[in-house]
Amino acid sequence: MTPSLNRRHFFAGAAATAVAAASVSRVALAALPEAVQQTSADTAAPWTPPGVTGAGRPYHPVVTLNGWTLPWRMNNGVKEFHLVAEPVVREVAPGFLVNMWGYNGQSPGPTIEVVEGDRVRLYVTNRLPEHTTIHWHGQRLPNGMDGVGGLNQPAIPAGKTFVYEFTARRPGTFMYHPHADEMVQMAMGMMGFWVTHPKQKHPLIDDVQRDYCFLLNAFDVEPGSMTPQVNTMLEQNIWAWNSRVFPGITPLVARLGERVRVRVGNLTMTNHPVHIHGIEFEVTGTDGGPTPKGSRWPEVTTDVAVGQMRQIEFVADEPGDWAMHCHKSHHTMGAMGHSVPTMIGADHRGLVKPLQRAAPDYMVMGERGMADMGEMQMELPANTFPMMTGTGPYGPIEMGGMFTTLKVRADQKAGDYSDPGPYALPPGTQARLVETGAAPAATRPTPPAQPAGATVRKPSADANPSHAHH
């Protein structure tokens, strides 16, 4: 973790157009709050404001996986923040860099953390090459602050600063993202988390000892390149948590017996069944707020649909290193060639040498499955993430993408978010080899004979007009 933040100021002038989400005058801009920057991909320590919050109640701050919380300043009872929309370079995994658009040096942008009842003022400076806006996803606020370009406000031109101001009216977990050229800007990584803590003890919101949050996002980065393909709809090849992929995703850690909350927001183009090994949890909140206690049930997987947030809670009562991942298996892999044929069961005997004479770099791959890819030291194009990666204490983990671990330890100190390292398994508690002698050789099943005269014909487009697409 890194608690340090780099700081710098931006721009001395801006437009003076008065609108609902107002542009900022040259005089006001001189007094803008600091635009704090963060370029490290490490998970920052929780940011605790001095004393108590402006609403009067201390709160347990969130920890954003491979992210950070944006500091604010108090100005006459208003919490002021400064977001800067700008191009960034994100380290998605060690050695794998991607050109993105984000906020304050990062994609996703920093988490905004306030308390129910806070008056907030958010300055947004646009350093992108085109206009933008910010939509405060899930918030109750005046219509003119909702951030839909053309509908609620003029877009923020490049080089200008607008200000949004409203009251954080209800506790919960929210997101922010552009509502201008949304397809491009979100595909480039523009998004962030917002957490509003309850002002008073809430009957549906329990106290926790650990509070984590992260966003699900996805990119299509062709091998050897650095810039996402923004027109890809569903065939992304980089499936990420907070623009980070395994083994670059920080593990979640907890002390044995602690109550843990995890807030997960989905701004990809598909759903994600998030699964945690070793514990049962309850869904305690959505974008709409905390769920009634009578609607909760124990689960080990929850599906997070597009544009949704799911807040889950559990007691970390089983020590160990427990996998946590999206249960769509191709989302726990790196870049894959989706057009590569399946070679399982193909007999390459007698073919390899002739093929290598024609293509010297040819290698047998996939006839026994793809596990060999986890160990293969195959040269990849520059800045290309492998399909399978990661090594544990017992060998290759053969994962990537949306995968990390939940590490529960009896000796983890309260408030300590450092990685405790691999779990020391107690004697007699690990699956082990059983010596049964040599296993029989695998056999290849004989394919059934085709019936004599069997043919397959593709129906013509007008063969069944009732099945026409509309």
201-212 confidence digits (pLDDT tens): 899 999 999 999
Mean pLDDT of the 106-122 span? 96
Max mean pLDDT among 7-11, 307-311, 393-397, 448-452 falls in 307-311
The whole-number pLDDT of residue 4 equals: 46
Q: Is the pLDDT of residue 283 over 60?
A: yes
Write down the domain spans for the chain.
Answer: 6-203
Per DSSP, the three-state class of 323 is strand
Q: Is the pLDDT of residue 20 over 60?
A: no
Question: What span, in angstroms and rounded, lies between the C-alpha atoms of 217 and 329?
Answer: 16
Dihedral sign, Cα of residue 234, residue 173, residue 322, residue 395 = positive
Residue ranges of alpha helices (H) inside 188-333 are none
The whole-number pLDDT of residue 345 equals: 62
Residue ranges of alpha helices (H) inside 66-198 are 182-187
Helices vs. strands in the chain: H and E counts, helices first:
3, 26
Residues 79, 90 contacting (CB under 8 angstroms): no
Assigned superfamily of 6-203:
Cupredoxins -  blue copper proteins (2.60.40.420)
Question: What span, in angstroms and rounded, lies between the C-alpha atoms of 435 and 445?
Answer: 27
Per DSSP, the three-state class of 215 is strand
Percent of the chain with pLDDT over 70: 78
User: Binning pLDDT at 50, 70 and 90, where does residue 49 land?
Assistant: confident
Mean pLDDT of the 23-31 span? 61
The whole-number pLDDT of residue 439 equals: 76
Output the average pLDDT for the chain: 85
Percent of the chain with pLDDT over 90: 63
Question: What span, in angstroms and rounded, lies between the C-alpha atoms of 396 and 407?
Answer: 18
The whole-number pLDDT of residue 446 equals: 73
List strand residue ranges (DSSP E) for 127-237, in order: 135-137, 161-167, 172-177, 192-197, 210-219
The whole-number pLDDT of residue 348 equals: 65
| 100 vs 27: which has the higher pLDDT | 100
Residues 347, 444 contacting (CB under 8 angstroms): yes
The whole-number pLDDT of residue 377 equals: 56
**H or E segment to which residue 267 belongs:** none
